[in-house]
Structure 1
């Protein structure tokens, strides 16, 4: 399965090479031209006339970077992207291209003082245990600046559900690959950007070079449809189809485009929902602010537990996102 291949691949921010090779091989038969710019973004072009449309997904996932060594052989580290420190203790990680296993450690709860038990977990309180007994041994095994990712394998479970890492944004990458297999009446660019999780850095470069009229970001987005969360705080819900955003912290999305996408969903009877939150941001924030600017929108696959070691999503939502984007692009 394409999603499984993409989600199991290694690709934290700044280290997207493995994901990039998978995508290039998947799309090469369906596009007129593939370029990789100096940042590492993939720009896939299906040449056409009229409106210049960019559909964007980012290749990188949240991860960690090694910043130092402790005397006992454990490693100091920092986040690559937004990973709340509350969720990291006891998680298994893989370090670098050699996939050296490690476990994120924290002082045991029964040894913590009353003050320690009540304060928030911070990265400085944690370490990565690689089974080493000394700083010297760890230096030989792991270089400073090496990356780490969660050790999580993709699988299906329940009724049509999937679980794995990096759903943000391998979901978007998989959707974009599928829609590139069709032809459309516009000048179409499928762009797979790098370093979104650390500030949409790749998207600024690719958008500046393409100068699109319209930009649509494909994402795996937040979902909190669980017991104890009031309906009005559930940004999206699994099983209710792709989510069309209103705004977020980096973009106010174009009503003309979002209304057109929603109208197509209604006409084609594709399940869909509005994203009922404005938190976060994505590559659309870069696309619509460079050069002459562009009209932008975001369409997302709802994902539970995003930016953690594992997420959950619906295969039906993923397939309906592919269907909705294909139908919308056919309207040009």
Structure 2
């Protein structure tokens, strides 16, 4: 998910109005279609590959250097697709034909890139200055292990220790106060990307990893391709440079010219303990409540027909879902819906905590249910869905 500062404000987010026929400006929807978290349903699908998700999360692919993830994606999609190509920016574009003529063309996009850093100066003795790539939160960076460039040079993000600081332990962490320290080895080059070296871990229903934004979505697309609905022509875009401006999605949507576009991403869950008394009342999504269907974000007002369609699919199949409340952040849908003559678009995301830091947290059940909701919605799509506004 791309970090942006613009946001929509709803007047009373605590007043649920579950009326999907009302204008978008009046949407004040319940956080979920169930009173309590549900992780199972009558409709089962094959268990998705947790090993694949682990490989994707452990790979490093800071924006503009997505090759390691792209290699995994190509390996996974080629046996199941009718057409696979890599465009000039590095997007992986995939086509799976439908079983009938003149099908609805549906594009699903998930971004391969992650936030991180770029070396901007060599200061000698193994020290390097660096800048941010994407909306990474530097407050979490000091003391973290990282890997530099394609050689995967190990380093630590160093900061003057508290013992030597006049500001004390509550000092503010700024980018200028940090340096990459390779321990005197050196060997890194200006312009090389730097990624966190966090390794994927599972603890019961919880997943801990870097880059869950958006390796969760990348894995969702691969799993959907393996069991693709036959009524629609399925187009997949594994995009580059989402975290720095939705750049890959812009050219991918123009090239593929879909009838419908859906961004599959990971959205920040605001369900932490109530430090300020508001955390639980103003959340935009919660863990354990299924995929989040967007009703608005900083870049997009999702097509109401698609919002209603996927909500109805969730109800019909007993798949838990929630409505992501309006607020900051954006997805590839922000670029896709503006291509050609306009493309009806939607975002559906896996909720997670602590995105754009060295370690994020998500639920295995929410990831599974995102795959199930998308499959259910795609299986029910007909051309009449977007024939009239």
Normalised TM-score (structure 1): 0.94
**Corresponding residue SS for 1:274:** strand
1:213 matches 2:266: no
Which residue of structure 1 lines up, in the alignment, with residue 173 of structure 2? 121
Which residue of structure 2 lines up, in the alignment, with residue 33 of structure 1? 83
Note if contact 2:273-2:280 (Cα within 8 Å) is conserved in structure 1: no
Which residue of structure 1 lines up, in the alignment, with residue 53 of structure 2? 3
> What are the within-5 Å matches in structure 2 for residues 1-332 of structure 1?
1-48=51-98, 49-114=102-167, 120-132=172-184, 138=186, 141-157=187-203, 159-181=204-226, 182-228=228-274, 230-332=279-381
CA distance in 2, matches of 1:107, 1:275: 40
| Structure 1, gaps ≥5 residues long | none
Note if contact 2:224-2:375 (Cα within 8 Å) is conserved in structure 1: yes
CA distance in 2, matches of 1:7, 1:67: 26
CA distance in 2, matches of 1:301, 1:276: 14
CA distance in 2, matches of 1:272, 1:119: 41
Cα-to-partner distance string for 1:143-162 (whole Å, 9 max, x where unaligned): 111111001110111x3111
Structure with the larger helix share:
1
CA distance in 1, matches of 2:298, 2:331: 9
* Aligned alpha-carbon RMSD (Å): 1.5
Note if contact 1:211-1:293 (Cα within 8 Å) is conserved in structure 2: no
Normalised TM-score (structure 2): 0.80
| Structure 2, gaps ≥5 residues long | 1-50, 382-389
Note if contact 1:213-1:293 (Cα within 8 Å) is conserved in structure 2: no
Matched positions, count: 324
Instruction: Measure how far apart 1:304 and its partner are.
Output: 0.9
CA distance in 1, matches of 2:160, 2:340: 50
Note if contact 2:270-2:280 (Cα within 8 Å) is conserved in structure 1: no
Note if contact 2:122-2:189 (Cα within 8 Å) is conserved in structure 1: no
Instruction: Measure how far apart 1:110 and its partner are.
Output: 3.5
Instruction: Measure how far apart 1:112 and its partner are.
Output: 2.6
TM-aligned CA distance change 1:277 to 1:117, over 3 Å:
farther
For CA contacts below 8 A with separation 6 or more, give which structure has more relative contact order: 2
TM-aligned CA distance change 1:75 to 1:45, over 3 Å:
same
**Corresponding residue SS for 1:196:** coil
